Amino acid sequence: MHGLMMDFPLTLDVILRRASTVHGEKEIVSRREDGSLHRTTYAELEPRVRRLAAALAALGVRRGERVATFAWNSWRHLEL
């Protein structure tokens, strides 16, 4: 019998993969600095995030290591 506990770690990778799979066409809307709206979907977001992860890995950042960010709450920061 399965309870309410998850049997695997709930990591950002898992959350992003599920959002892309289940809610791929849902829009993520945020406001740019100039007041205009930026629109993307989870399906569009996932490959960009994965490219960034690959670039960080190429720079020597290993899985599980922490990376600090300092940015405004925006669509760009979401991709980080």
pTM over 0.95? The answer is: no
Q: Within 13 Å of residue 29, how many CA atoms lie on the same side as its CB? A: 5
Whole-angstrom distance, CA of residue 41 vs CA of residue 50: 15
Reported as a single tens digit per residue, the pLDDT across 24-58 is 999 999 999 899 999 999 999 999 999 999 999 99
CA distances from 15 to 19, 33, 53 (A): 6, 27, 15
Quickly list DSSP for 68-79.
-----SSHHHHH
Domain regions of the chain by residue span: 12-79
3-state secondary structure of 60: coil
pLDDT band at 76; cut points 50, 70, 90 = confident
Give the C-alpha separation, 73 to 58, whole Å.
26
